[in-house]
Structure 1
Amino acid sequence: MSDARPAHIAAPVWLGVLLIVTGLAGLAGAFALSVERIELLLHPEELLSCDLNPFLSCSGAMESEQGRLFGFPNPFLGLMAFPAPIIMGALTLGRVAMPRWVWTVFSTGVLGGLVFVLWLAQQSVFVLGFVCPWCFLVWMAMYAMAFPLWTWALGAGALPASAGLRRTAARFSSWGWVLSLALAVIVVVTIMVVLPGIPRFLFSF
C-alpha cells in the first residue's frame, strides 16, 4: 500500500510564528543560564541575579548533578537546540515546502526536548526542592511549542499515523495550544503545592 502522505509539506504561518517565538524564548533562557554559569565559575562566592530565595535559585540547579546530566551544563544543550525551531519557523514564514522527513525528525527532536524538560521539572520540584527561574522559562517554551506542532504534524501527514488519526488531528489541530496550556497549568500548580515558599515569596510584593 502506498503512503498517501505528501512528500513535501509547507506549514501554516501561525506555526512559523509560534516556532520562532518559543525558540527565541528558549534560547534566551539557555543563554541567560549559560552566562550565569560562567559568572558562578568566576565568582563562586557571590549570589547570582536569579538566586531570589531558597525556593527560586539558579545556582543550586547548576551545581546539582541534574544540571549537568551529560557531563556539561544543560544550558549548552539549549544553545545548540533552540536555533532549530527558529530556523524551521523562518523557513515556514518563507513558505518553504520542506521534505516530510525534515518535519518528522524535527517533531521527534521536540518530543525528546519535552521529555527532558519534564524530567528536569520533576527533579527540580520533587528532588532538589527549588525552581530555577530561567529553567522555568525554558520549560514553558517547550510546552508551548510541542503540542501545537504535533497536532499539526499529525494532521498534515508529517508524522506517521493512520488515516483516521490524521483526520482527527487535522480537525483539532488549532486546539493543540489547549494541551500546552493544560500541561503548563499542571506544572505551575504542582510547584505551588509542593513548594509553598514560592507563592509566599511572589505574593509578598
Structure 2
Amino acid sequence: MSSRAFTAALACALLGLIASVAAAYVHYQLAVAPGYESFCDVNATLSCTQAYQSVYGRLLGVPVSVLGTGYFAGVLGLLLLGRRLDALASYLLVVALVGLAFVIYLAWATIFVLGTLCLLCLATYAAVVGLFFIAGAAASVPMIDLPSRLSRDLRRLSGSPAALVLCVLVIGATATSAAWFPADSTAAVQTPAERASQTAAQVDAEPPLTDDQKAQIRASFDQLPRLIVPADAPGASVVVVKFNDYMCPPCRQTFDLYKPIKAKWAQQAPGKVQFLTRDFPLEGECNASTPTGSHQASCEAAAAVRMARGAGKSDALEDWLFARQTSLTASIVKEGLQEVAGLSDFDARYPQVLALVKSDAALGASLGVSSTPTFFINGARIAGGMAPRIFDYLIEYELSKTAAPVPVQ
C-alpha cells in the first residue's frame, strides 16, 4: 500500500472515528437529558435527533454510534499495526465492504424511511465510502489468497504486545460502552417549570446585540422580499406567522424560546403584535409537498390542536405535545386531546379538520416553505429559527416603522 493511499485511508478512519464519537456524545445527551437540542439539529430535514431516537438508531439494543466508534477504532488499529503487511489494502477492502453494506442500509433508512439527513451520519458514510475506494484501488492480493495470508499475518501480529493491547482496548471499550449506554428517554416528559428554566438559561446566555449588529440585522432584513401571507390579525402592526410541525425539534425549541417574547409584546404593545401558527406537517397524509415525510403523528397533532382551539385549550395542548415530542404517536395525540381539552371525538372530527391542515400546508408550499419552522415577519420569510434577541429586535424594528413607533434602541 503506497504512502499516499495509506495517508488517505488514515484520514478517512480518523474522520469516521471523530464523527462516531461526536454521534455517541449526542445520542448519550438525548438519552439522559430530555429536551436536549443537538448542534446538528439544523431543521426538520437535517436532524440527528430524528435518526438517533428512531428504531434505526440502535442495532440489537446497541447504539449505532457506539458500533461505529468501535469499527473506526478497529480500522485505525489495522492501519497502524498492519502498515508493513503486503495484504493490508486487501484486508482493508474486506473491512470496508462490511462497513459499506451497513452504511447503505442506514442511508436507506434515514433518507427514504425517516426522510431526514443526519450530518454526523453523513460524515461516517463518507469515511466508509472513502475507505472502500482507496482500498479497492490499492489492493494487490487476490481475495482467494486472503485466508492463507490472514492465518500467517495473525500469527505474526499475535506476537506483538501492542497489537494484543489494542485489540483488548477496542473490544473492551466498545462492549463496555454498549453495556452502560443509557436507554433512550423517549417517554420522559419535562415539566413546564423545567422547560421554562432551560429556556431562561439559554436566553440569559445570549449577549446583548451591539449597535453594529443591529445595523447589520436591519440591513439584511430589509433586503428580504415581502410576500402576502393571509392572516386574520386586524389592527396589528406586526404579524408573525410560523409554519409549524409538532414533531420538529427546532419547532419545539422556538416555541419555548419565543414564549417570553410573545408575553413581552402582549404587555408592551397590546394588539399591535400578533403571533399566528400555520400547520406544515412533514407527513404525506396532509402535506402533498412532503410525500416522504417521516413525522407519522404530525397530521394528527395539528388536527388535535385545531380541535382544542375551539375549547380554548390550544396553547395548553401545544405545550403538552411538545413536551412529549420524541414519543408522539397518533394514540398519544388523542390521549393528550382528551386529557387537556376534554375532547374524545377525535376520530369523528378528524377528516373534516384534516382538510384545514391540508389547506395550511398548501399555503405554505405556495409561499416557498420547505422546512419547519419557517417564519414570516410582516411577509419577510425566514427559514429556521433565529436567536431570541434577534427575533425580539426584528419585532421592535418593524414596530418602529408604524405611525406610533416604539423607539429602536
Whether TM-score is above 0.5 comes out as yes
Match runs of 1:116-127 below 5 Å: 116-127=102-113
Post-superposition offset of 1:104? 4.3
Higher-Rg member (1/2): 2
2:320 is aligned to none
**CA distance in 1: counterparts of 2:135 and 2:60, whole angstroms:** 27
1:97 corresponds, among 84, 88, 93, to 84
Residues 45-71 of structure 1, C-alpha deviations (whole Å, 9 max, x = no match): 232111110001111111111111232
- The percent identity for this pair of structures is 25
RMSD: 2.6
Asked whether the equivalents of residues 17 and 69 of structure 2 are also in contact (C-alpha less than 8 Å), the reply is yes
1:157 and 2:157 are equivalent in the alignment: no
Query: How far has the Cα of 1:158 moved from its partner?
Result: 4.9
Aligned to 2:134: 148
Partner of 1:6: none
The answer to whether residue 68 in structure 2 is matched with residue 109 in structure 1 is no
Q: Mark the CA change 1:97 to 1:128 in structure 2 (over 3 Å): closer, same or farther.
A: same
SS in 2 for 1:84: helix
Q: Distance in 2 between matches of 1:87 and 1:69?
A: 23
Higher helix content, 1 or 2: 1
Structure with more relative contact order (C-alpha pairs < 8 Å, separation 6 or more): 1
Q: Which residue of 1 aligns with 2:48?
A: 58
| Corresponding residue number in structure 1 for 2:241 | none
Once residues 148 and 99 of structure 1 are traced to their aligned partners in structure 2, the CA distance between those partners, rounded to angstroms, is 15
The TM-score with structure 2 as length reference comes to 0.34
Is the contact made by 2:90 and 2:135 (CA closer than 8 Å) also made in structure 1? no
Q: Deviations over 1:85-137 (max 9, x none)?
A: 32333356xxx43163x654432121010111111111111100001110011
Cα distance change on mapping 1:89 and 1:109 into 2, 3 Å: closer
* Alpha-carbon spacing, 1:105–1:70, altered in 2? closer, same or farther (3 Å): farther
Give the Cα separation in 2 of the matches to 1:82 and 1:59. Answer: 22
- Report the residue type matching 1:117 in the other structure: V
Contact 2:15 2:124 in 1 (8 A): yes
Residues 65 and 119 of structure 1, relative CA distance in 2, 3 Å threshold: same
TM-score when normalising by structure 1: 0.66
Number of residues paired by the alignment? 153
- Of Structure 1 and Structure 2, which has the larger fraction of its residues in strand? 2
Whether the 8 Å contact between 2:12 and 2:127 is mirrored in structure 1 is: yes
Q: Gapped runs of 5+ residues in structure 2?
A: 146-291, 294-368, 375-382, 385-409
Structure 1 portions without partners, runs of 5+? 1-10, 162-193
2:143 aligned counterpart, secondary structure: coil
